[in-house]
Amino acid sequence: MASSAFISAAKVVVGLAVSGNGSPSGAHADRLSVPGGFALISLSGISLASSPTLRFPQQRSRQQQQRRRSAPARAAAVETLETATAEGLVEKSINTIRFLAIDAVEKANSGHPGLPMGCAPMGHILYDEVMKYNPKNPYFFNRDRFVLSAGHGCMLQYALLHLAGYDSVKTEDIKQFRQWGSTTPGHPENFETPGVEVTTGPLGQGIANAVGLALAERHLAARFNKPDSEIVDHYTYVILGDGCQMEGISQEASSIAGHWGLGKLIAFYDDNHISIDGDTEIAFTEDVSARFDALGWHTIWVKNGNTGYDEIRAAIKEAKSVKDKPTLIKVTTTIGYGSPNKANSYSVHGSALGGKEVEATRENLGWPYEPFHVPEDVQSHWSRHVPDGAAIEAEWNAKFAEYEKKYKEDAAELKAIISGELPAGWENALPKYTPESPADATRNLSQQNLNALANVLPGLLGGSADLASSNMTLLKMFGDFQKGTPEERNVRFGVREHGMGAICNGIALHSPGLLPYCATFFVFTDYMRAAMRISALCEAGVIYVMTHDSIGLGEDGPTHQPIEHLISFRAMPNILMLRPADGNETAGAYKVAVLNRKRPSVLALSRQKLPQLAGSSIEGVEKGGYIVSDNSSGNKPDLILMGTGSELEIAVKAADELRKEGKTVRVVSLVCWELFDEQSDEYKESVFPAAVTARISIEAGSTLGWAKYVGSEGKAIGIDRFGASAPAGRIYKEFGITAENIIATAKSL
Amino acid sequence: MASSAFISAAKVVVGLAVSGNGSPSGAHADRLSVPGGFALISLSGISLASSPTLRFPQQRSRQQQQRRRSAPARAAAVETLETATAEGLVEKSINTIRFLAIDAVEKANSGHPGLPMGCAPMGHILYDEVMKYNPKNPYFFNRDRFVLSAGHGCMLQYALLHLAGYDSVKTEDIKQFRQWGSTTPGHPENFETPGVEVTTGPLGQGIANAVGLALAERHLAARFNKPDSEIVDHYTYVILGDGCQMEGISQEASSIAGHWGLGKLIAFYDDNHISIDGDTEIAFTEDVSARFDALGWHTIWVKNGNTGYDEIRAAIKEAKSVKDKPTLIKVTTTIGYGSPNKANSYSVHGSALGGKEVEATRENLGWPYEPFHVPEDVQSHWSRHVPDGAAIEAEWNAKFAEYEKKYKEDAAELKAIISGELPAGWENALPKYTPESPADATRNLSQQNLNALANVLPGLLGGSADLASSNMTLLKMFGDFQKGTPEERNVRFGVREHGMGAICNGIALHSPGLLPYCATFFVFTDYMRAAMRISALCEAGVIYVMTHDSIGLGEDGPTHQPIEHLISFRAMPNILMLRPADGNETAGAYKVAVLNRKRPSVLALSRQKLPQLAGSSIEGVEKGGYIVSDNSSGNKPDLILMGTGSELEIAVKAADELRKEGKTVRVVSLVCWELFDEQSDEYKESVFPAAVTARISIEAGSTLGWAKYVGSEGKAIGIDRFGASAPAGRIYKEFGITAENIIATAKSL
């Protein structure tokens, strides 16, 4: 494209400052195009319009750099107006971000250009002027965290990481946007792209993750900061859109964030009035800011998010000054800003602009460059972040060395949280049980484990969605994490399962040594499944403490009784579904859960008392499946009975009866299918010899999936209907989850 | 208990009118006990205290009855103050409700007495003074709907149904509370207890169901009412508690209800400041009323929900006067009102009071009766609802007869919606395809079916969670259901999957002939799974249109690609998981979905184009699994290939190749496992002969579960990891979901 061609037509689409919650209907028709792209530049009195590369001589950019090199200077940038010329460079940088997004989506012919085009200004200000990070160490502990909750706009984040100098997003990676094996997948994924903090895309998850990140900061700051050393001190920024706002999970997380008063959480609500189905008028007309006021947030409205850079800066300054409340900055933007024919419409949300419209947008925004080009002055301007980032980290490291000298124990604990290294011998804290230990519900045994572990694992913290006294999740030696007591470790999530799960993902991804657990009734995993799936995908080792795990809960009835839940998690990739049968197995489940820091664990626990079984063991649980008892020899019993959790006891009873009748019977605990499937073929054969086809499984849940272990000739005893409201014993009997049924089935084989 | 013993000590615990959203901390300590049980009675100047049965002579009660017999008179009751004596009877009735709950929970030694004790006043006023219903026909079409969203307090509803004269809840049934086979399960279940509209317990579902019920009323009223005949005209009432309010689903449903301006939805928020973990101060301090203002609701605060009966009545009157907004009445109550030692504490939430406290509560509230006793005057007072209800229904029937004369076609359509009878020959509208029909994505074929069906099924309505243009769910002949156009049938749910599902449950349970469908990407069933499970449990025949059903969606990546979802629904009771492979199978899936009015259907549909296969059929889908092609004879092919949806094409290709090599190969479509499993053993053998053990399944999802069909010697080709972001073809290839892999696997068998 000739650089001279675009000048006369330079236009931008102005932001629609829609008033209040008012109707932007007719906005499409009213779209205005006015000259403006270079308005700020002309104020500087320097005529640069015909040669963009000349506009901001490197020299000026270097002066700028020097002014900004140290962290305090950068913070000051938020507080002072840039010169008009600097604003010109800002605009150029913003357009660089826009075009990197446009070009990447165009090349992939897939993706979402609209958000990056609209949010480029806030993205630029955050990464270039506000945030503290080290591009060469994306895991620098004290960095500010950024979450793009509206994850479909990921090209915004990739462009920013690229400009900031992260090695994970080179030009070549941007060219590979959404391609096999690239670091630039279709939505932000922390496990693919260092610099991305969490995994977003499913709407509303990111804001809840951000609440978790901010909680972690608040908690660690309260535990470790000293009057003379703020060793933990960072902000959490998040951009969320209309879609995130409509999701219930965002309400849950925002409500509890307001309750906790997480003052260092700053959320930008990209108020662009467009979602996939069109104008938000068709389904979303609530007053979002008023809602956040009601939730106890501080709210600010930036009316011109497209070009009101100072408005954005002032809002961030104001947000930082409010220390006892999280802040929502509603930023009214135009989706697809700059595209003359598609801006402010759903058509720019989730499709490539198309060659013609890309051209028109280049012309409109005065962009003469080749695709994927970062102008030199922009590159030069951003290049300071590598040395700046290194300096920031070095400064913190020096600070930590000082801290370590003064506060040795705290420093060691914080170090463990930062590194994720488990204290030597931690597993010795796990309680042990013998068959003589009293019968107990695994939910109670779970509490014994949690309390034992809290003594040795400095990063263990968590709680329940308003069922602490049923889930048995309270850590007795700690108080509640609350606004006034953020150093405590019992988290009260309220009845907000979905938010809870996503908050825990944020906590887990804040620091490798944070071990969040969270709890509800097992059936209510249905409320939080989307967050749990993301735990699995994003490798957040959250421990899900799920009690009341079957019809064994009795009277609450079918709405509360899980049936299909075990198999539904067994089928989910990268998550461990554990259903311990007694004390040793519960301890084993915790051992596995703590060790698997990149694979979340779901512990299904009983409401009802269970005996301590002979033969159960922690080591057995680590193998996923193992022989609990056997009266045969030569690896060829007459019958193999297998079960999990509360039904293992029933299998043991049936085996005892059958043995009395002279049969050789093996009882196998299949406490974690995923771990068992990972064992060697030899081990598997030692547990389930191919030659033994008489096999019966028993589990108070769906029989689906058990065919894998019982084989074509075996039988699965389970429940393939909904539960019922009655005392548990009665339901077990009516549903045939009994030793008698096992024995009868065994005889039929 | 001696009736003379309790008088002197008659006390009530006064309601705690906690100001604003302020802290009720210290409330336990400040609890006051003042004389009050009979304060209103003494105002009447009649001394009745020592003989409760004399207090309200039947004669007075009958006068009362006559004053109230007709519906208009009952409506007037809301508008005028009762006499003091009548208020005494009201209080006695309220205490009857309380003690039925107390006694039932005590006998079961399980349940939740706190809510019924606190909400008995609003419950009484609703069922005795406000609501329009016919106890002898719980399904009377034009009845007011009541939903107890805080379903754990179900004894409130059972007590009310009992007093009102519903046959489903006799004294004997209340005594069987939470027992095997009773009509009084631990949470309200519409399929167990006529008079209960929906199934609640999992928090937040009920308020969303209520939004669906109110939507249905609004829609049908707009379609069928005439200037001279309001043939559809009822209110929807709902009680929800703090738990419901904390759940994201309630925010989603409340936000869209405000958007739709559902003026006949009246929600009572039981603001008792207690949830299971204790005071709501620990996790829930948002300003709920301000939030609802922001959502576009009308809000009212009843400060004394314990004894402020006139306040409650006035609030309902005010709510009814606001016609363009739903109303939230925040009713501040005391949980466990009347229990001297447990009121206003979590201990009364979910456990029996215990014999001693029951005694103390009887004394405190002046209740001399045996457990489960309904005093004669109370019974007599309530007895009018049976004749009144019959009269209300008869009046409506007469009105409908008039309507039918004038508006024959509309009447026929409305009748079909009320009865659920499908129009004869409706299935002829289903589109048919031949192998020559153009290849197409099943999501597009789904839209053809939806549009064809909308022409013949008057009750079909629905939409998407902001993905209408991706899910292909728009009905082209209709506009949008909106505040100003409620007669239309395209529902815009916004990005609110969970609310959407529960709203559809409400629509489906409003009238048997309403067929709601709703849509999102298949992976986002994770956001709405709790509502889908309740569809299955409560027998709401919702049609879930779930597109982008595999890695075939390509670039959006693993956050958007379902893996474990098919099996997770196959394991869920009473729901049909259908994954059609082409046009005929999509039509078959819709046939099944429409016919299964008490079993919801999930349709997994492709984003990508698929060919029309030879051998596919609607009839085949109805059997769940069937032979698509076979070149063998004698029911003994060398190999059986099976698959579903987009992978069936791959199986067909592989079969073609293998046949070229001289093998006999059968291809089976297993489009719906649940239906196939219901077929006769003979049919199953005809599809999967036991003698043929060389079997391969292919499906772009978890392999778990397939062992059931491929057997111990077969192989399942699938995906047991998360997906990836790349063009779909590349992912298929990388993951081995290919004909080549089938062929190689076949050769290895």
- Does residue A276 or residue A707 have the better pLDDT? A707
What's the mean pLDDT when you consider all of chain B? 91
Confidence of residue A85 (pLDDT cuts 50, 70, 90): low
The Cα diameter of chain A in Å comes to 102
Give B178's contacts in chain A (Cβ within 8 Å).
555, 557, 725-727
- CB-based contact B275 A466, cutoff 8 Å: yes
Phi, psi of B198 (to 5 degrees): -140, 180
Poorest-pLDDT segment among B26-30, B182-186, B393-397, B709-713: B26-30
* Residue A406 contacts B, CB cutoff 8 Å: no
CA dihedral A476, A481, A483, A486 (to 10 degrees): 100
CA distance B337 to chain A (A): 22
In this prediction, residue A66 carries a pLDDT of 39
The one catalytic residue in B497, B649, B674, B699 is B497
Cα–Cα distance for residue pair A78/B680, rounded to 1 Å: 74
| pLDDT tens for each residue of A138-186 | 999 999 999 999 999 999 999 999 999 999 999 999 999 999 999 999 9
- CB-based contact A724 B180, cutoff 8 Å: yes
Around B101, how many Cα atoms within 13 Å sit in the side-chain half-sphere?
39
CA distance B47 to chain A (A): 44
Cα–Cα distance for residue pair B261/B155, rounded to 1 Å: 31
| pLDDT tens for each residue of B189-232 | 999 999 999 999 999 999 999 999 999 999 999 999 999 999 99
Task: Note if B497 is an active site residue.
Answer: yes
| pLDDT tens for each residue of B153-194 | 999 999 999 999 999 999 999 999 999 999 999 999 999 999
Nearest CA in chain B to A287: B294
* Residue B247 contacts A, CB cutoff 8 Å: yes
Poorest-pLDDT segment among A53-62, A353-362, B430-439, B663-672: A53-62
Phi, psi of B24 (to 5 degrees): -90, 20
End-to-end CA distance of chain B: 78
- CB-based contact B571 A554, cutoff 8 Å: no
Cα–Cα distance for residue pair B240/B423, rounded to 1 Å: 38
In this prediction, residue B85 carries a pLDDT of 64
- CB-based contact A731 B180, cutoff 8 Å: yes
- What is the average per-residue pLDDT within B340-355? 95
Measured between alpha carbons, how far is residue B696 from residues A216, B712, B723 in Å?
Answer: 48, 11, 22
Q: Which residues of A614-627 are buried (b: 16+ CB within 10 A; e: fewer)?
A: ebbbbebbbbbbbb
Strand, coil or helix: what is B577? strand
- What is the average per-residue pLDDT within A707-719? 97
C-beta of residue A619 within 8 angstroms of C-beta of residue A650: no
pLDDT over 70 (residue A58): no
- What is the average per-residue pLDDT within B295-303? 98
Q: Which of B296, B469, B726 sits opposite A277 (nearest CB)?
A: B469
Interface ipTM: 0.91
Neighbours of A669 (CB within 10 A): 33
- What is the average per-residue pLDDT within A388-399? 98
Give A724's contacts in chain B (Cβ within 8 Å).
180, 185
pLDDT over 80 (residue B405): yes
Sheet holding B639-643, edge to edge: B626-630, B665-669, B639-643, B695-698, B715-717
C-beta of residue A520 within 8 angstroms of C-beta of residue A528: yes
In this prediction, residue A87 carries a pLDDT of 85
**A634: buried, middle or exposed (CB in 10 Å: 19+, 13-18, 0-12)?**
exposed
Structure tokens at B251: 């925010």
Q: Which residue in this structure is represented by tokens 């004997």?
A: B172
- CB-based contact A705 B571, cutoff 8 Å: yes
Q: Which of B180, B296, B492 sits opposite A283 (nearest CB)?
A: B492
Cα–Cα distance for residue pair B320/B326, rounded to 1 Å: 9
pLDDT over 50 (residue A230): yes
| pLDDT tens for each residue of B22-56 | 333 333 333 333 333 333 323 333 333 333 332 33
pLDDT over 90 (residue B545): yes
**B633: buried, middle or exposed (CB in 10 Å: 19+, 13-18, 0-12)?**
exposed
Nearest CA in chain A to B295: A286
The one-letter code for the residue type at B260 is: W
Nearest CA in chain A to B711: A712
- CB-based contact A284 B243, cutoff 8 Å: no
Cα–Cα distance for residue pair B20/B18, rounded to 1 Å: 7
C-beta of residue A527 within 8 angstroms of C-beta of residue A559: no
C-beta of residue B315 within 8 angstroms of C-beta of residue B57: no
- CB-based contact B187 A560, cutoff 8 Å: yes
In this prediction, residue B84 carries a pLDDT of 53
Q: Please, which residues 525-554 of chain B have a Cβ atom closer than 8 Å to chain A?
A: 526-527, 529-530, 533-534, 536-537, 554
Q: Which of B108, B283, B567 sits opposite A571 (nearest CB)?
A: B567
| Angle, alpha carbons A425-A672-A735 (nearest 5°) | 135
Q: Please, which residues 192-211 of chain A have a Cβ atom closer than 8 Å to chain B?
A: 199-204
* Residue A678 contacts B, CB cutoff 8 Å: no
Active site residues of A: 497
In this prediction, residue A78 carries a pLDDT of 40
Give A202's contacts in chain B (Cβ within 8 Å).
523-524, 526-527, 559-560
Q: Which residue in this structure is represented by tokens 């000293």?
A: A226
A607 is in an annotated binding site: yes
Q: Which of B178, B246, B495 sits opposite A555 (nearest CB)?
A: B178
- CB-based contact A179 B726, cutoff 8 Å: yes
| pLDDT tens for each residue of A584-609 | 999 999 999 999 999 999 999 999 99
- CB-based contact B568 A573, cutoff 8 Å: no
In this prediction, residue A652 carries a pLDDT of 98
Residue A441, H or E segment:
strand A440-441
In this prediction, residue A86 carries a pLDDT of 84
| pLDDT tens for each residue of A181-229 | 999 999 999 999 999 999 999 999 999 999 999 999 999 999 999 999 9
C-beta of residue B608 within 8 angstroms of C-beta of residue B441: yes
Q: Which of A187, A204, A248 sits opposite B559 (nearest CB)?
A: A187
A124 is in an annotated binding site: no
In this prediction, residue B87 carries a pLDDT of 85
pLDDT over 80 (residue B62): no
- CB-based contact A705 B704, cutoff 8 Å: yes
Give A556's contacts in chain B (Cβ within 8 Å).
186-187, 201
Structure tokens at A90: 């800002």
| pLDDT tens for each residue of A467-505 | 999 999 999 999 999 999 999 999 999 999 999 999 999
Give A285's contacts in chain B (Cβ within 8 Å).
258-259, 296
- Does residue B55 or residue B149 have the better pLDDT? B149
- CB-based contact A286 B275, cutoff 8 Å: no
The one-letter code for the residue type at A604 is: A
- What is the average per-residue pLDDT within A680-687? 98
